[in-house]
Amino acid sequence: MNELELERRFSLNELLDLVSCGEVIRALAEMVRANLRIFDGQGQEVFFAGETINLCELIKATEAGDKLCQGVREKLLAQQLTESSAVQIQSACGLKYTVFPIRYQFENLGRVVLGPYQDLGMDNTKLEQLATKFHIDPKKFIQNYHQLPDFSPDYLKKLARFTSKFFDAFVFINAKRLVTTVMHLEQIMQSRDRIFKEMEKEAKGTPEDKKEIEKLKSMF
């Protein structure tokens, strides 16, 4: 068995298999009642599950909306993550997010972002101040803010732990499947090479024989 094949680095998409398993992750997001985004190691969003956030649409419509949203995104992607620890991030808009890494063999391959959700420390007075700062109708701002998920600290802790373990399990299962596939393919290729070597020994060595063997090789 080629050790280099077993030690190869799998990509985030390979380990999560988002094409075939996307519905499972969407069901997870629905179950935990939080928007869920997955970013790869280069900061590209590779998956989203959830709903449109009305408050975010209100903020985007303001003059500084794009800059604010970009700032939140950069903050979420720049946050240093260690092991499987989850980190809560506060945005300038009063929204909160939970971020944790997707890891394989002690390496961060990407990150999961849960949120936004309400900051329990924000009362209506503070929300009104934010609305005034962003030139948004305070009534609309407060109304839409309270439509966000309202998680208790205990629920957030359990939510982060559960979703983190969910992705750990997903990565482990797919990694095992991929390694098994690599081993199986390696065995097939070894058998292929052995068969063709035997054919080359038995062949008469004519150009026609060599051409036929090369043709067979190209089919595998």
Instruction: Give residue-wise pLDDT tens across range 145-168.
Output: 999 999 999 999 999 999 988 888
Mean pLDDT of 128-144: 95
Long-range contacts of 147-154 (CB under 8 A, 24+ apart): 147/54, 147/55, 148/53, 148/55, 148/95, 148/116, 148/117, 148/118, 149/33, 149/34, 149/115, 149/117, 149/118, 150/117, 150/118, 150/120, 151/34, 151/117, 151/118, 152/120, 153/120
What residue numbers bound the domain in which 9 lies? 3-177
Mean pLDDT of 101-122: 92
| pLDDT score at 1 | 44
| pLDDT score at 104 | 84
pLDDT-based confidence at 177, cuts 50/70/90?
A: confident
Distances (CA, A) of 190 to 25, 31, 136, 187, 193: 38, 46, 67, 5, 5
| CATH number assigned to the domain comprising residue 20 | 3.40.1840.10
pLDDT-based confidence at 4, cuts 50/70/90?
A: very low
- Give me the amino acid identity at 54: N
Looking at the structure of the chain, the number of domains it has is 1
Q: What integer best gives the mean pLDDT of the chain?
A: 83
Phi, psi of 44 (to 5 degrees): -90, 135
**pLDDT of residue 200 exceeding 90:** no
| pLDDT score at 20 | 75
Highest average pLDDT, of 5-9, 142-146, 167-171, comes from 142-146
Inside any domain, residue 80: yes
| pLDDT score at 97 | 97
Inside any domain, residue 113: yes
Percent of the chain with pLDDT over 70: 76
Inside any domain, residue 61: yes
pTM as predicted: 0.76
Distances (CA, A) of 29 to 9, 25, 51: 28, 6, 10
Mean pLDDT of 173-194: 60
pLDDT-based confidence at 203, cuts 50/70/90?
A: low
Q: For residue 98, list its beta bridge partners.
A: 88, 114
Inside any domain, residue 24: yes
Inside any domain, residue 187: no
| pLDDT score at 102 | 92
Mean pLDDT of 12-38: 87
Inside any domain, residue 27: yes
In the block, which residue shows the tokens 């970009």? 70
More confident residue, 127 or 84: 127
